[in-house]
């Protein structure tokens, strides 16, 4: 019961913060969403279960990708699974001020942080490496570039690029269809 009351109080506080008051006490709508927030809202439409293949270094590897909106709508979690590998990398998308950002929790043991830009048509999201936590000289490298291309509501691609410690890059293109 205490948890339910706490959640109810939190939801009321969030609803109250969505309306501003004028000096005369009249309610007014909160300002429009920033471009980063608008882009993030569009990216959240990818929430769901996706299947497809990885093409590149390991052509044709089957994949399952789950995207889930979490943290009261403030985070989009991306989880990738493959029957060909035991890894299960997770990527979190969110807003940081006026920027669309991602943090990739890599099976290489580091956590690259990237900042996103969106194409004028709102269909292509490109993320570029800014920094990383736990990036050690003994590691093989880190994820450095990610591109999401929304083809339609039920089809998108993801291009993941990994920077090797020796300067070479590797990666692949995920071609994904929504599971209905």
Condensed to tens digits (0 to 9), the pLDDT of residues 75-106 reads 999 999 987 776 789 999 999 999 999 999 99
Domain borders along the chain are 33-178
Q: Is 43 in contact with 76 (CB distance < 8 Å)? A: yes
Condensed to tens digits (0 to 9), the pLDDT of residues 10-37 reads 444 444 444 444 455 555 555 688 999 9
Res 15: pLDDT: 41
Q: Return the CATH architecture of domain 33-178.
A: Beta Barrel (2.40)
Condensed to tens digits (0 to 9), the pLDDT of residues 118-143 reads 999 999 999 999 999 998 877 788 99
**Within its chain, how far is the Cα of 112 from the centroid?**
13
């Amino acid at each position: 019961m205490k948890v339910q009351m706490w959640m109810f109080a939190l939801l009321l506080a969030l609803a109250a913060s969505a309306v501003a008051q004028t000096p005369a006490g009249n309610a007014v709508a909160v300002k429009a969403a920033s471009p980063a927030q608008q882009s993030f809202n569009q990216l959240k439409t990818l929430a769901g279960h996706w299947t497809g293949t990885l093409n590149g270094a390991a052509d044709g590897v089957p994949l399952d990708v789950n995207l889930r909106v979490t943290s009261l709508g403030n985070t989009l979690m991306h989880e990738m699974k493959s029957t060909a590998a035991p890894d299960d990398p997770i990527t979190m998308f969110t807003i940081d001020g006026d920027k669309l950002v991602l943090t990739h929790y890599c099976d290489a043991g580091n956590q690259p942080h990237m900042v996103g830009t969106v194409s004028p048509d709102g269909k292509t999201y490109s993320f570029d490496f800014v920094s990383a936590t736990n990036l050690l000289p003994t590691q093989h490298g880190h994820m450095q570039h990610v591109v999401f291309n929304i083809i339609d509501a039920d089809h998108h691609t993801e291009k993941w690029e990994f920077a090797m410690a020796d300067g070479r890059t590797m990666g692949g293109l995920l071609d994904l269809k929504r599971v209905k």
